[in-house]
Amino acid sequence: MQELIYPFDPGVIIRKRKALKRALEAQEGPRLRKKIAVLGGSTTSDLVKTLELFLLDAGIEPVFYESEYAQYFQDAMFPPESLASFQPDVIWIHTTGRNIENWPTVRDSDQQVEEKLAAELGRFQAMWESLEKRFRCPIIQNNFEKPFFRLLGNRDAWDIHGRTHFTARLNGAFAQYAAEHQGFFLNDTDYLAADFGLRRWADPACWNMYKYAMCFEAIPAFAFSVANIIKSLFGKNKKVLALDLDNTLWGGVVGDDGVEGIEIGQETGVAQSYYEFQSYVKQLKDLGILLTVCSKNEEENALAGLSHPEGALRPEDFTLIKANWENKDRNIRETAAALDLLPESIVFADDNPAEREIVQAQVPGVLVPELEGVENYIAAIDRSGCFETTTFSQDDLKRGEMYKANALRAAQQASFGDYGEYLRSLQMHAVIDDFLPVYLTRITQLTNKSNQFNLTTKRFTTEEMEAVYNSPDYIRLYGKLVDKFGDNGVVSVVIGRKNGEALDIELWLMSCRVLKRDMELAMLDKLAERCREQGLKTLRGFYYPTPKNGMVKGLYESFGFKKTAEEPDGSTVWELETGSYAPKCKVIAVTGNPVE
Amino acid sequence: MDGREIFARLNKVFQEVFDDPSIRLTPQTTADDIEDWDSLEHITLISAVEREFHMKFKMKEISSMKNVGEMAGIIQERAR
């Protein structure tokens, strides 16, 4: 919804909140229901109502638990029944500088200041550990905004008695805890307050009258930040940045002005601004964001522009280049299809408002930031929160290469008469075995972002996945696929829960980048083998339809399972006897985990 | 800005904040007359009014305003 996309107008969100909520709830489409516990050190009412808007807009339907006023510590240490039975999917501890209890004073000795710091940290750490032990779900913790007065002036920043210095040390310690604990995330209040303007943020009237820890107009930006973390945790991040070229990646029109005529590099302020934007885009690529071109241009000119010696980007940084004269909405759809992704995974960056509008209107779900003036491009994309990084795995770093290898495979496929011959020519080998700790992050990530080849669309938090990993009640398989073009990484996950003499397959997913490679058959072969080893006679599969997973509706049938039940909503249950099962996959060499 | 214009604009703000197009303000309107006007919504309302008229209420005024008429009076004094 346009009102909720950066740069949103906080006044509009505050004033029209009820109407916005009504409009969002009227929208069609599937929603992920998530339970969010907000443990506040100040009033949370409007924070929660605003957070709800941003989450609804991202397809997440939140249910909230709010602690009684400022009861964050009591709730964390001694959860009341209402919180215990709520069973949150994520906990947000909303504390601010107003909740620091052990401020140093100028009369404290060095040692007393150290003791106060330890006491304050100890209080928070005790909460985190209590919550982690009890709920095993992601925890979001605010760090602290800078203090709203400086008793020592500039000295406040470095003197151990200064609140500014004390706050910075607390934030440093919080950051260290975050770095050392999976499932623990900081909401960077320090940055948000600075960005908003600390003086306005820290309006003492808001605290003294309403017990809000920040001024009212700062609430939307603050709630947006928390929403971005939650969206990222539950797999709502964007994956692709589709870029226009002329006046987006460089100044001028390469087809008219020629390569030597476009503005990019270090010569002028404008050229430098485009260079800075290209450098930013390149850093996004390093983060695992796929870059594509979506430009009305001759391909030859597009490549020439991207090869400009003063540019930061190179043609090979792009996974896919669509430089033609088709309408852009069509090119965006084709881009999504070519990458086996949904259009809603795409951010479309174009300086031309008319192109933005056509894509926005024709391809629902694509995020189209307002790019006005090259000097503002980075902010428009960076602050939209769509690439918020909560987990970061080695696979993210390699994603661009993997998709490019896919393009090479496609080119090869065209030269084979027989598909089986093509598959054999790929010289595939897979590692299929029980989970390894090193892959748990990637496995969890896959459960949260795979939508299409996903039979049950069951999502897992890091904590839930660890519980599965440590339980003897499951048969777990991950599959990693390598071929002559490269390593695809972990691409398939199956989790089955033992149920008497049967195995209930609670999760079966596969990344779409390895569709039609018979990888699913290799997974099934291994699953049947494991079941037989453990005396499990029946494999029981479930298919729960969603708007996105139609492609696997008939998967179990194609495997030779028999349908045993069908619900009115289209859910189906399938069974296969493992005793007479004969392996099906003939084109992939399979091995197990490396022996230590 | 005359009183009529202030009331018209205030009326619009109230309608949007309470999501109720049937609201008709008079100088005598108080929180008791509007169902959702509780202490939490009061903050939203004050913030939206301040933004509409590009002005700020003082803390003392917020706690002492008795009805919409008094609110409009302060706005008339201060609004740009």
Residue A392 confidence (pLDDT): 66
The CATH number of the domain where B62 resides is what? 1.10.1200.10
Q: Coil, strand, or helix at residue A240?
A: strand
With CB atoms and an 8 Å threshold, state whether B19 touches A18.
yes
CA A52 – CA A223 distance, rounded (Å):
9
Taking the Cβ of residue A217 and every Cβ of chain B, the question of whether any pair is shorter than 8 Å is answered with yes
> Which chain A positions have a beta carbon within 8 Å of B16's beta carbon?
15-16, 18-19
Taking the Cβ of residue B21 and every Cβ of chain A, the question of whether any pair is shorter than 8 Å is answered with no
CA A264 – CA A251 distance, rounded (Å):
7
For B51, the closest of A11, A17, A205 (CB atoms) is: A11
Report the side by side order of strands in the sheet with A346-349.
A320-324, A290-296, A240-243, A346-349
Taking the Cβ of residue A18 and every Cβ of chain B, the question of whether any pair is shorter than 8 Å is answered with yes
Using omega within 30 degrees of 0 as the cis cutoff, is the peptide bond preceding A309 cis?
A: no
Find tokens 């050392």 and name the residue: A180
> Which chain A positions have a beta carbon within 8 Å of B45's beta carbon?
none
The parts of chain B modelled with pLDDT lower than 50 are: none
With CB atoms and an 8 Å threshold, state whether B19 touches A22.
yes
> Which chain B positions have a beta carbon within 8 Å of A11's beta carbon?
48, 51
CB atoms within 10 A of CB A319: 23
CA B59 – CA A203 distance, rounded (Å):
11
> Which chain A positions have a beta carbon within 8 Å of B17's beta carbon?
15, 18
Interface test with B, best of A203, A216, A219 (most B CBs within 10 A): A216
Pairing assessment for the beta strands A60-66 and A502-510 based on DSSP bridges: unpaired
Find tokens 């599965």 and name the residue: A468
pLDDT digits (tens), chain A, 596 positions: 889 998 999 999 999 999 999 999 998 878 889 999 999 999 999 999 999 999 999 999 999 999 999 999 999 999 999 999 999 999 999 999 999 999 999 999 999 999 999 999 999 999 999 999 999 899 999 999 999 999 999 999 999 999 999 999 999 999 999 999 988 999 999 999 999 999 999 999 899 988 999 999 999 999 999 999 999 999 889 999 999 999 999 999 998 888 989 999 988 999 999 999 999 999 999 998 999 999 999 999 999 999 999 999 999 999 999 999 999 999 999 999 888 888 999 999 999 998 999 999 899 889 999 999 999 999 999 999 999 988 766 666 666 677 777 767 776 776 676 778 888 888 899 999 999 988 898 899 889 888 889 999 999 988 899 999 999 999 999 999 998 877 888 999 999 999 999 999 999 999 877 888 899 999 999 999 999 999 999 999 999 998 888 889 999 999 999 999 999 999 999 999 999 899 999 999 999 998 76
Answer yes or no: are the C-beta atoms of A275 and A312 closer than 8 Å: yes
Question: What's the gap in Å between the CA of A89 and the closest CA on chain B?
Answer: 27
Residue A417 confidence (pLDDT): 65
By the 10 Å C-beta count (0-12 exposed, 13-18 middle, 19+ buried), A143 is classed as buried
DSSP secondary structure letter of residue A209: I
Domain count, chain B: 1
The number of residues in chain B equals: 80
Answer yes or no: are the C-beta atoms of B75 and B6 closer than 8 Å: yes
For B44, the closest of A14, A19, A22 (CB atoms) is: A14
Partnered with residue A292 across adjacent β-strands are A242, A320
> Which chain A positions have a beta carbon within 8 Å of B63's beta carbon?
209
CA A100 – CA A41 distance, rounded (Å):
10
Residue B14 confidence (pLDDT): 95
Taking the Cβ of residue B74 and every Cβ of chain A, the question of whether any pair is shorter than 8 Å is answered with no
Give the alpha-carbon dihedral of B47, B49, B53, B56, to 10 degrees. Answer: -40
Q: Coil, strand, or helix at residue A51?
A: helix
Residue A83 confidence (pLDDT): 96
Q: List the single residue in A with minimal CA-CA distance to B13.
A: A15
CA A248 – CA A554 distance, rounded (Å):
44
For B17, the closest of A15, A208, A212 (CB atoms) is: A15
How many CB pairs below 8 Å do chains A and B form together? Answer: 39
Q: Which domain holds residue B10?
A: 3-78
Residue B40 confidence (pLDDT): 81
Question: What's the gap in Å between the CA of A42 and the closest CA on chain B?
Answer: 13
With CB atoms and an 8 Å threshold, state whether B59 touches A22.
no
Structural domains present in chain A: 2-233 (3.40.50.1110), 240-382 (3.40.50.1000), 394-591 (3.40.630.30)
Residue B64 confidence (pLDDT): 84
